[in-house]
Each structure stands twice: as C-alpha cells, then as structure tokens.
Amino acid sequence: MSAMDLFDAVGLAPALPGARCRGRATLFDLAEVGTDPEDAEYAEQAAKRLCAQCPSLMRCRAWYEALPRSRRPFGVVAGLVNRPKSVGRPRRTA
C-alpha cells in the first residue's frame, strides 16, 4: 500500500479521481534499504512521469502543499519526492 493509498484509506486524502498511483506502491513509496540505487531511481522517475499524466495532479499538489511538512507522506507525491531528513552525527568542520 502506497503512502497515498494509506492516506486515502484513513480519509486523510482528498478525492483524487483517476489517481495514477493507486495500486502502485512499489513505484511511489521510498525504496527500501538495500534496494539497488538504479532500480530506486527508475521507480522514482516512473512515478514522477505518472504524476505528470495524472488528472488529479493539481488537486493532489494543493492538498500536499497545504499539509504541514511534518505530516506530508514520504515517497513520490504530486510529482515531488519527500524523503525523511537524514539523521546522524553532525559533521565536524575544520
């Protein structure tokens, strides 16, 4: 289930008629750790192309951009890619 499907299932997404992402979680969700980077890039580009052809793109983009950043789903949404901030130690600078 893609992030969009999940939001849809719990009633947090607007009606998005003809959404091209439905049932395509493998393209729209962020790649799992260990995925071949080329495969991940291919999926991301394919998802972006589907968004560009989606009849609900404008509505989806408006919904997505109205969400607080902390509540935006991860993955490809409305032609944009949302990744969690990387965590780790702060870098030392000389």
Residue type, 25: A
In the list 27, 30, 43, 77, the residue contacting ligand SF4 (rule: CB under 6 A) is 77
Binding to ligand SF4, residues 1-60 (CB under 6 A): 4, 16, 19-21, 50-51, 54, 56-57, 60
38-77 core/surface letters (b: 16 or more CB in 10 A; e: else): eeeeebbeebbebbeebebbebbbebbeeeeeeebbebbb
Query: Closer CB to ligand SF4, residue 69 or residue 89?
Result: 69
> What is the contact surface with ligand SF4 in residues (CB under 6 A)?
4, 16, 19-21, 50-51, 54, 56-57, 60, 77-78
